[in-house]
Amino acid sequence: MKKITKHFLILLSVTTASVAAVSYAFFNKNGLYKTKFLDKQKLIENSMNLNLDASYNQLNAYDNLLDFQNSADINIYYSRYGIQNFYNMIRMAMLAQTETHFIYSSDIVFQSKLNKEELQNFLINKKAFDPNKSQEENIRNYSRSKVIDVEKNLDGYDYKYEFERIIKQNPDKKINVWFNSEIIKEDISVITELLQYPNVVLNGLEDSNVIAFHLYNYWLPQAKSALYDEQTKKWSNSSSSIYNRVSQYILPTDLATDYNIHRYNLFFSDNYHVDLLNKEGLLHIYPFFKSDPTLTIKDKLFATRDKNNKRLSTHWSKITGLDWKQDRDKVASNKALNNKPGLIVLGTAENNDFDFYATVVKLYSDQYNIYYKGHPGHNSTSDDIVKKISSHQEFSFYNYLTNKTEKYVLPENNIADILESQIPSEELTSDHAVEENGLYFEKWALADPSTSAAKGIFNKINTPQDFVVLFLKNESKIATDTINETVWNDYIQETLVNFVINNIQITEPQDTSNLEQWNANLTIIDPKGILSLVKIVEINNMLKLLLYIKLLNKQKAESYDSAFTIKFLVVVLCMVWNLNMK
């Protein structure tokens, strides 16, 4: 039997994966500074500080990033941008059983609602104690926790000052510093400045849950000629002092290989692509949760209790200043008026969101109440929607269906409204979908089909067929099941395939030489490679799952024993069923 090891990659026709151009210098009010240049001389000096490298290089011993953060004495967090990243760091700070310092900027729009006093009170007084430490030690550690607002200092200097201030005060403590994985391309000095302290480990937390996918499928292939040595079979950016959107993810490999520094790690929630990146030879890249790829930091927050045995999630709305229930009540109230189902439009930071939303409203407002969930850092579109569309006044917009500028008035009985842009989209689309008195939307429209928010469609109520409209930005047109339907069908297909590949776990046998043994144990070699060769034709209702599967390549199908194929598909059916009944 022929072994399959090649992973089938489908390139999204609706996804534009560009490599960010490198800017060689930046300007601020004080003049020229070179935050993108790696200080190699300082790294050589830092490489002498190895007294903690050996112990911290045992990160593989930890099952997940939460256990890893608890192995330190102090955890420090800062996220300059990235709403997923920011809220995950709040959750991690709430879960950390250590002295904790959370740094943020109230001048950043989506961070402005954070209740500083509420979070600090929680970190000091409400977290459950670490059972492995005495009560006195827990109280002492928690009492030093702080929430720090670096207002009006977005050029990067003040947050590093706060890092160093805490580090210098604690020279004998093991310290984890957490920041957005995307920060290196803009400010690499955080690496050279902080690695000089041998008790510090730096950790880049994914900007969003699609970073690992794009890194492996798009960014690395596009940059391969510049960053990959065909002779040594290794990735490296060591010939340059500049790190951009792609090469910043090779930095941990360069540090380990060139300087024997093992104190910079990257963490992604996508176990499947973390495994592929590791197989590519990239070092110090880890999944959030090794043993359970379906687990999330949000799940842990919900399951964990405070010192008074209350769920940590009950503190969430007070700390973040956001409450999804307000939008739930708005949606329910509107439905009570006209008995129409809801359609959510997930927006971007692009100015053409207004025209896309207006196009969707004109197409579907007779059938649905339509809601716009904007990007947290771009609120002008929401303001325009309220002023021009929700008010039932005449307005002009570019219709992406007709490719013409048109005038339109929303009929009085139709509803087009906005949702709170600062709330993470999953709070509105998936986190509360199956709760009693929860919230979900019957249909979705995507202003950016590549958005990580689209993963929320697997909420045990919706399916990918509920993506009724996709905006194809580069072509300035839309795709539905009847308009540009090939693109729409391809997108639905890849969404389904990626969901199955990323979530199913199948045990591989020790001995794969015997086909009968494969069938007897219901296991296969490279199961996720095989999965990418099947086509999922239809899924109806994730709670009553029906899968119809056919092989994409008939020639390849003929090389497989029919019993093996049938049994394998049974395994897929059962495991997807179990996954969605959790």
- Quickly tell me which residue has 């005495």 as its tokens: 134
Task: Give the residues across from 72 on adjacent strands.
Answer: none
pLDDT at res. 495: 84
Q: Lowest mean pLDDT: which of 132-136, 209-213, 494-498?
A: 494-498
In angstroms, the CA 327 to CA 318 distance is 16
Does the pLDDT of residue 379 top 90, yes or no? no
Positive or negative: CA dihedral 146, 152, 153, 158: negative
Q: Calculate mean pLDDT across residues 184-213.
A: 88
Q: Could you give the angle at which helices 271-279 and 485-503 cross, rounded to 10 degrees?
A: 80
The structure tokens listed for 186 are 């803009």
Closest C-alpha among 99, 169, 101, 110 to residue 140:
99
pLDDT by residue (tens digit) across 361-370? 999 999 999 9
How high does pLDDT run on average in the chain? 79
Q: What pLDDT score was predicted for residue 285?
A: 96
Range scoring the smallest mean pLDDT among 187-201, 315-329, 377-391, 567-581: 567-581
Q: What is the pLDDT of residues 8-49, one digit of tens each?
A: 222 222 333 322 222 222 333 332 233 456 777 777 776 665
pLDDT at 161: 85
Using the predicted structure, report yes or no on whether residue 543 has a pLDDT greater than 80: no
- Rounded to the nearest angstrom, the gap between the alpha carbon of residue 510 and the centroid of all alpha carbons in its chain is 33
For residues 262-275, give the mean pLDDT. Answer: 92
Q: Report yes or no: 260 and 47 within 8 Å, Cβ to Cβ.
A: yes
Q: In Å, how far from its chain's centre is CA 93?
A: 18
> Between residues 569 and 111, which one has the greater pLDDT?
111
Cα gap 57→179, rounded to integer Å: 19
What are 453-458's contacts with CB under 8 Å, separation 24+? 453/346, 453/425, 453/426, 453/429, 454/346, 454/495, 455/209, 455/210, 455/499, 456/425, 456/426, 456/429, 456/430, 457/429, 457/430, 457/495, 458/430, 458/499, 458/542, 458/580
Q: Could you give the C-alpha distances from 564 to 3, 512, 526, 560, 569, in angstroms and in order?
A: 13, 13, 14, 7, 9
Judging by beta carbons within 10 Å of its beta carbon (0-12, 13-18, 19+), is residue 273 exposed, middle or buried?
Answer: buried
Q: Which of 306-310, 345-349, 373-377 has the lowest mean pLDDT?
A: 373-377
Confidence of residue 185 (pLDDT cuts 50, 70, 90): confident
The pLDDT tens digits for 467-498 are: 999 999 999 999 999 999 999 988 988 887 77
Q: Is the pLDDT of residue 554 over 60?
A: no
Q: What is the pLDDT of residues 101-127, one digit of tens each?
A: 999 998 888 898 899 999 999 999 999
Mean pLDDT of 278-297: 90
Cross-strand partners of 286: 267
Q: What is the DSSP letter of 310?
A: -
55 pLDDT exceeds 80? no
Per-residue confidence (pLDDT) for residue 59, from 0 to 100:
63
Model pLDDT, residue 537: 46
- Top pLDDT among 494 and 429 is at 429
Inform me whether the pLDDT recorded for 413 exceeds 70: yes
List of residues 6+ apart from 461 with CB closer than 8 A: 433, 434, 440, 542, 543
Taking only the tens place, the pLDDT of each residue in 166-178 is 999 999 999 999 9
- What is the reported pTM? 0.70
Predicted local distance difference test score (pLDDT) of residue 297: 92
Cα–Cα distance, 508 to 520 (Å, whole number): 13
Residues of the chain with CATH 3.40.50: 324-500
Beta bridge partners of 539: 547
- Over pLDDT 90: what percentage of the chain? 50
Structure tokens given for 149:
């607002």
Residue whose C-alpha is closest to residue 1's, from 560, 506, 523: 560
Per CATH, the architecture of 324-500 is what?
3-Layer(aba) Sandwich (3.40)
Q: What is the pLDDT of residue 60?
A: 67
pLDDT for the residue numbered 226: 92
Q: Which residues contact 31 (CB under 8 A, 6 or more apart)?
A: none
Q: What percentage of the chain carries pLDDT values higher than 70? A: 75
Query: Looking at per-residue confidence, does 212 or 57 come out higher?
Result: 212
pLDDT, average across residues 249-266: 91
Question: What pLDDT does 503 receive?
Answer: 60
DSSP assignment string, 252-268: HHHHHHHH----EEEEE
Q: What is the DSSP letter of 419?
A: -
The per-residue pLDDT for range 325-363, each reduced to its tens digit, is: 999 999 999 999 999 999 999 999 788 999 999 999 999
Residues 6+ apart with CB under 8 A from 15: 218, 449, 450
